[in-house]
Chains A and B, each alone.
Chain A
Amino acid sequence: MGDVFSFQMPESITDSKPEKVVCGPGLRRNGDEVLVCKSGILRHKQPNLYWIDSQQRRYVPGKGESVIGIITAKSGDIFKVDVGGSEQASLSYLAFEGATKRNRPNVQVGDLVYSQFIIANKDMEPELVCIDSCGRANGMGVFGAGGLLFKVSLGLVRRLLAPQSEIAKDLEKMFPFEIVVGMNGRVWVKSKTIQQTLIVANLLESCENMTAQQRQTLFRRVADGSI
């Protein structure tokens, strides 16, 4: 913790202007230095992105992230949404597709919403919206008639949403179901029968600590119908 790392450039290209460096989660800027503030593995992505790959269960709101929230209160023009962070986020009723002052969205206390952060920093109350910059919903908004909501660790969420996710590929072969994954560690699953829904939920929760081989064995057993 607190290690400083610097970017050593070879002598031949010191003439060129220093390029921008993007420090991702786990790294913090301190003047001209970059400090590490989480324990984990340093990762690099071309051309200039570095971050620390760490594990945690507690979610910290970040701008632009899509999360599943639970509406807890309706006060005036905004809804209070629980996203699992240190404080509740606010969601304006005009931030839904096709919502106007006269045409209010049909949102009740206790509904699940899939929305994005537009403001999320340590100094201000986080704010959510359910539309993008063009005013389209893009799948965001209230969902979840039926289905099951449960919590997983943030690392598993990232593994599920990775571009070449093996867990997602294994799940595809099982049975038809629908899943919504929020970056705050919340996952919602819906399937044709309650039993299938519970199976998928249990599989995901147990994937946390399994190696790829163990996971595939387990999935195969379930697909064969022995569980």
Chain B
Amino acid sequence: MANDNAKLSKNLLRMKFMQRGLDADTKKQLEEEERRIISDEHWYLDLPELKAKENFIIEERSFGPCEDLKYGRMSFKGFNTEVEKLMIIMNAPNEEELEEEEISRMETDITDEDMARRYESLVGSMKKKFAKKRERSAIEDVNQNATETHKKIAFLKPQD
């Protein structure tokens, strides 16, 4: 095994396990050398920066948005009810957006305080439902601020 560092290759020295023994300074030097090598190898164009011209004119090839054309499938006098439903859905996208906004506003009719009160009681009752019998009585006592019974449950010998 070569103990002389000069006989080991540069790539080998750059590997992680070889660098664990080095000091912080030598590590930093090696890192900087690597960065210099990489940045020298990067190719770049020696041109002045070109700015893309802002286009104020947009081309639009289709007649659809120009004349606000309706949906292409139509049904009259109830010949095809599914198509009539589609006509209503597709021909009124603006109205639908308004409806969605109204629905989201309606959901906040229940104020936050009411929600908090509801959850407060709900959490307690659900907890009680799934608690074991002994814990249930303990919960009730806690809620009512009563004193805890220190009754130790031990085997009672039957009295004669």
Q: Interface of A with B (CB < 8 Å)? A: 18-25, 27-29, 32, 34, 43, 45, 49, 51, 60, 62-66, 114, 120, 138-139, 154, 158, 161-163, 165, 168, 171-172, 174-183, 190-192
Contact = CB atoms under 8 A, between A and B. Distances in A.
Interface stretch (B40-48, B70-78, B110-118, B140-148): B70-78
Contacts of A19: 56
Contacts of A181: 72-74
A25 B72 contact: no
Contacts of A32: 57
A138 B76 CA distance: 18
B72 A45 contact: no
B80 interface: yes
A29 B69 contact: no
Nearest to A180: B73
Interface range for B: 20 to 34
B61 A162 contact: no
B49 interface: no
Given A29-B59, A179-B74, A24 B69 contact: no
A211 B27 CA distance: 88
Nearest to B78: A176
13 contacts: A22-B59, A24-B60, A29-B55, A32-B57, A43-B66, A62-B63, A65-B64, A120-B61, A154-B63, A158-B69, A177-B79, A178-B80, A191-B79
Given A62-B61, A178-B83, A181-B72, 11 more contacts: A21-B56, A22-B57, A22-B60, A29-B57, A51-B66, A63-B62, A64-B64, A114-B72, A176-B77, A180-B72, A183-B69
B25 interface: no
Contacts, number: 126
Contacts of A63: 61-62
Contacts of A64: 62, 64
Contacts of B83: 139, 178
B97 interface: no
A25 B61 contact: yes
Contacts of B71: 66, 139, 161
Contact of A163 (B60, B63, B68): B68
User: Considering residues A24, A25, A62, which has the most beta carbons from chain B within 10 angstroms of its beta carbon?
Assistant: A24
B122 interface: no
Given A23-B57, A158-B69, A176 B64 contact: no
A164 to B, nearest CB: 10
Nearest to B91: A163
A49 B72 CA distance: 23
Contacts of B68: 162-163
B61 A158 contact: no
